[in-house]
Amino acid sequence: MSALKPWSGALSSPGRGSGSWRCWWWWWWVVVVGVAVGSGDPWLSAEACPSTCSCSSTRISCVDPEQGINAFPVLQSEAEMENITDIYIANQSSFSSINDKDLHYYKNLRNLTVTNSRLTYVSKLAFQNNIKLQYLNLKDNNLSSLSWRIFRHLNISYLILSGNPLHCSCENMWIKLWLGEEADTQELHCIEDGGGRKLLSTLVLPNCEVPMATLSPSKVTLMEGDKLDLSCTTSGVPSPELIWNMALVTNYEIQTSGQISVLRLSNLSSLDHNCKISCTAENIVGEKESSLLLDILFPPKITKLSDAIPDHHWCIPFSVSGNPQPRLEWFLDGKSVTEGQYIMTMIHDVTEREYHGCLQLDSPTHLNNGRYTLLAINKFGRDQKEVEAHFMRKPWDGTEKDPYYYVAEDPTTEGPPVEPPEDRVAVYVVVGIAAVAFTGFLLMLVILKFGGNSKFGIKGCALFQNIPVEVVSR
């Protein structure tokens, strides 16, 4: 795979004792190649792939049983590893584990095969960084168990585990449940304590069940400031761990006894409207989650009303919260604004609890100038805010340079784009090569001038002729 191979052929057949010009060219190649290698330029990088494996830009394959590997290959740069989608390892008798960080840089890995090797251990964090992993083939290894937690964040479509000495233990029960009929297609067996083999699909164990979690009540609609008790009931053997998961502004406390846990919320905050509360039960066989979205009723709040900004249309931006959704009304200097084709309220974005939008004005004139009042109303209350807006000066009022607009700040305007660093590195490399080549040229002139047909010239050249072989074979 060495990118340097084509060069080495040319370099290893120098025309000894020939004219100085030929000599000069060898010398020049050496310098250029030397600089390129030294600079670590990717298109000339050597040792991108371990010698016992073969690599393309997207695939690594290690199948040579003679010169085995005992860990995943590490390529020269992170960028190269990020391009790999497929790793294939077979017949590696010293390959026994996949550890926490082994696959850390292979972010785009989709297919992983480790087969006919001695894989005995897979860390729970082995695939932490490989969220695109879909196809995992661990056929014919030495795995006695595998935890479902290894895969909890993944969306695996294929898992091949045949030919492993899996124990008939509760820890492997999830494999039977997850693979379903596929377990028989793969002829998955497990090994009992006595040493007997049985089909995994027939595995039945006492006290080995997927847990359950149930939240009650399962729906809530409450007023801001109310209190709420949520209880989560879990079941399953071995008895599961119970985990609440939420990010709330409202104060709460949790009381757990046995398989039941109560979450007590007091003085519900409207900031928690539409927040998710979940309760998860987790044991060695698997996990179940039960969740609800808080529906908190609260009166409108205008959280933003800002100066008009000229865009495609003019816009008076606002943000309003409230549940149920508030009705919006506008007033200009106290008089109700009639919305229509040229002036209308537009909602552009709805988040968990806020409505973001504009009072949109199409070609406003000085008649639209004035004090705008936004009124937001729902059945629990109302809120109002005011903002002054000037779109166009009155015709006789024009003493300033720009009579039509006042210029709103445009936050997207920035300085001139900065050159990406890669480009600058490339420039440095090119300049470096040029400088070295030029120095070589000067030296060459000196050699021509003082060397002529003397020994000095040939020796000088021969000295450099040794270098390429070293550079290339390192």
Ligand X SMILES: *[C@@H]1O[C@H](CO)[C@@H](O)[C@H](O)[C@H]1NC(C)=O
Q: Mark the segment that binds ligand X (CB under 6 A) among 16-24, 78-86, 97-105, 181-189.
A: 78-86
Min CB(179)–ligand X separation in Å:
16
Bridge pairing between strands 260-266 and 251-257: antiparallel
| 379's tokens | 């059945």
Are residues 188 and 162 in contact, defined by beta-carbon separation less than 8 angstroms?
yes
DSSP class of 167: B
State yes or no: residue 91 binds ligand X (CB under 6 A). yes
For residues 248 to 287, the per-residue mask of contacts with ligand X, x marking binding by CB under 6 A and - elsewhere, is: -------------------x-x------------------
Min CB(454)–ligand X separation in Å:
48
State yes or no: residue 135 binds ligand X (CB under 6 A). yes
The binder of ligand X chosen from 13, 57, 338, 412 (CB under 6 A): 57
CB within 8 Å of 366: residues ≥ 6 apart: 391, 392, 393, 394, 395
State yes or no: residue 390 binds ligand X (CB under 6 A). no
Bridge pairing between strands 121-122 and 97-98: parallel
Give the integer Cα–Cα distance in Å for 416 and 411.
14
Rounded (5°) CA angle 359-360-361: 120
Give the integer Cα–Cα distance in Å for 79 and 108.
11
Q: Mark the segment that binds ligand X (CB under 6 A) among 75-83, 189-197, 291-299, 417-425.
A: 75-83
CB within 8 Å of 55: residues ≥ 6 apart: 1, 48, 49, 61, 73, 75
**Residue placing its CB nearer to ligand X in the complex, 97 or 235:** 97
**Residue placing its CB nearer to ligand X in the complex, 47 or 386:** 47
Neighbours of 237 (CB within 10 A): 16
Min CB(177)–ligand X separation in Å:
18
Bridge pairing between strands 111-115 and 86-90: parallel
Q: Mark the segment that binds ligand X (CB under 6 A) among 116-124, 420-428, 441-449, 450-458.
A: 116-124
Size of the site for ligand X (CB under 6 A): 25
Give the integer Cα–Cα distance in Å for 412 and 152.
40
The binder of ligand X chosen from 111, 117, 172, 465 (CB under 6 A): 111
CA 340 to chain CA mean position, Å: 45
Min CB(82)–ligand X separation in Å:
7
**Residue placing its CB nearer to ligand X in the complex, 227 or 379:** 227
Q: Mark the segment that binds ligand X (CB under 6 A) among 86-94, 334-342, 363-371, 460-468.
A: 86-94
Give the integer Cα–Cα distance in Å for 259 and 345.
51
The binder of ligand X chosen from 83, 123, 128, 235 (CB under 6 A): 83
State yes or no: residue 157 binds ligand X (CB under 6 A). yes
**Residue placing its CB nearer to ligand X in the complex, 91 or 123:** 91
Binding residues vs ligand X (CB under 6 A): 42, 57, 63, 77, 79-80, 83, 85-86, 90-91, 110-111, 116, 118, 120, 134-135, 142, 144, 155, 157, 225, 267, 269
